[in-house]
Amino acid sequence: MKLLKIKDNSQQKKDTFSNIGNLTGKIADKTLEQLEREGIFVFPEVVKDAEDITRDQMIIQSVNDSYRSGNVMGFLGCGDERLIIESRFCGEEEDYFFQYLLDRVLNFPNIVDLETDANQDNRLFNLLLFLFPYYLKTAMRKGLYKKYIRHRYNDGNVKGTIDIARHIEQNIPFTGNVAYSQREFSYDNNLMELVRHTIEFIKRKPYGNNLLIKIKDEVKLVIEATPGYELYDRQRIIEQNKKNTVRHAYFREYLDLQKLCLLILRHQKHQIGSGSKQIYGILFDGAWLWEEYVSSLIEDAFYHPMNKGGKGAQRLFDGNIGLVYPDFISRDNETRIIADAKYKPIDNIGNRDYLQVLAYMFRFDAKVGYYLYPEAEFSDDLKLWMNRGSTYEANVMPREDISIIKHGLKIPMDVSDYAGFVTRMKTHEQEFKKVFSC
């Protein structure tokens, strides 16, 4: 197997990718939207779920004789070639920071501890399984999925359309039964059966019960809603769901769940990457994970408007004009603070970022703005005072009342195991929150 590991927000010479040339040719300079259409599983779903991840974002982008990576982390493969995109805080062996984000935001099991071998295909497959509870819980907030299906009967209580051919075949000589079919609104449909098959598949994994215990109420509802479940029916259910995807906009969360279940049931270990031309993988948006993680740290001190859920929308102008979603608005309106989560190195937080936060500060009468970003240990905050005056009059000087602060959460990189990483992170989190009195 040909394997290359790179880090997010980094740049490497194109020669570095020579041993995975086939895979590189399929992903270089392609947008996430294009790759998702080719079968890559992107979390969160590119187009509708995240503000920081966009249609035109690329995994690796050509820059002269180099490739530059963005905020995306995960695994990609094609044939016998593999590309792993780790967090830039990854140590010599394991990517503890990526694991920690998954654990805090999505309540993932510890991949490092669970994975007993170094096979990256196994790890990729486990990531798909670990996403299942999140997607099932999200979909079932809309209730159980219900649709019309046609049931076939052969009895004396005729309520639907008589099936002449089947009646002649089964009921001659006539004994009082009539063959007929009836269209009924039912929970026990192909999609819910697909979910049930996925649940039963996960149950057989060594960590399956621990994974499903987090969604035991949802699992119970699915099992009760699918009395027609039969293990031998799995392939037929898969084919039915491939042909009939969820189309109703109200149930879009079930479409995401359907796609994930099909990936899990169709791409079992021996099937992942079958065929030299097939591209596959799972990618996570580091910016989304980082923002959700930061929110969990400072939620007591800040409001968190969310574009994804349409929560806390703000307007720049009177007349309901200029829709904006600042990442964080302090709950203290007397000394208002605006904060923006950035999954970028400090030097990459630049002009467009400044203009965005300053606009939000002006809108909410805030004198202080923050960029909240992950930083290596032993670094200090950077405070920027806004200028007044103009170079034309040669009277430029810093103001004393408006500032923007780059405030980093220190990420440990010299730890020997995941438990040690978690311990150090807890300490740094307390230091990070002190600024906001959380």
Listing DSSP states for 110-158 in one string gives: -HHHH--S--HHHHHHHHHHHHHHHHHHHHGGG-S--EEEEEEEEES--
| Burial environment of residue 359 by CB neighbours within 10 A (0 to 12, 13 to 18, 19 or more) | middle
Write down the pLDDT at residue 160.
Answer: 66
Write down the pLDDT at residue 118.
Answer: 45
Write down the pLDDT at residue 94.
Answer: 79
Residue 374 has pLDDT above 70, yes or no: yes
- Among 76-90, 154-168, 372-386, which is the least confidently predicted range? 154-168
Q: Which residues contact 298 (CB under 8 A, 6 or more apart)?
A: 328, 339, 372, 433, 436, 438
User: Phi-psi region for residue 297, left (φ > 0), alpha (ψ -120 to 50) or beta?
Assistant: alpha
Instruction: List residues bridging with 384 in a β-sheet.
Output: 404
pTM comes to 0.78
Residue 101's pLDDT band (cuts 50, 70, 90): very high
Could you tell me if 219 and 192 are in contact, meaning their C-beta atoms sit under 8 angstroms apart? no
As a whole number, the mean pLDDT across the chain is 84
Residue 376 has pLDDT above 50, yes or no: yes
Q: What is the DSSP string of 185-244?
A: EESSSHHHHHHHHHHHHHHTSTTHHHHHGGGHHHHHHHHHH-TT--GGGHHHHHHHHHHS
Peptide bond into 173 cis (omega under 30): yes
First to last CA, the chain: 48
The percent helix, strand, coil of the chain (3-state, each to 5) is 40, 25, 35
Could you tell me if 82 and 282 are in contact, meaning their C-beta atoms sit under 8 angstroms apart? no
Share of the chain above pLDDT 90, in %: 40
- Among 10-24, 93-107, 292-306, which is the least confidently predicted range? 93-107
Element (H, E) at 84: strand 81-86
Using N-to-C axis directions, what is the helix angle for 96-106 and 286-298, rounded to 10°? 60
Q: Which residues contact 151 (CB under 8 A, 6 or more apart)?
A: 181, 182, 184, 186
Residue 175 has pLDDT above 90, yes or no: no
Query: Which among 160, 166, 157 has a CA at the least distance from the CA of 182?
Result: 160
- Average the pLDDT over 278-294 and give the result: 87
- Among 86-95, 223-232, 276-285, 411-420, which is the least confidently predicted range? 276-285
- Among 78-87, 106-115, 271-280, 282-291, which is the least confidently predicted range? 271-280
Could you tell me if 379 and 40 are in contact, meaning their C-beta atoms sit under 8 angstroms apart? no
Residue 144 has pLDDT above 60, yes or no: yes
- Among 40-54, 282-296, 360-374, 377-391, which is the least confidently predicted range? 40-54
Write down the pLDDT at residue 281.
Answer: 81
Q: Are strands 178-186 and 147-155 parallel, antiparallel or unpaired?
A: antiparallel
Q: Which residues contact 63 (CB under 8 A, 6 or more apart)?
A: 11
Residue 364 has pLDDT above 90, yes or no: yes
Higher pLDDT, 44 or 301: 301
User: Phi-psi region for residue 248, left (φ > 0), alpha (ψ -120 to 50) or beta?
Assistant: beta
Residue 43 in 3-state DSSP? strand
User: Phi-psi region for residue 99, left (φ > 0), alpha (ψ -120 to 50) or beta?
Assistant: alpha
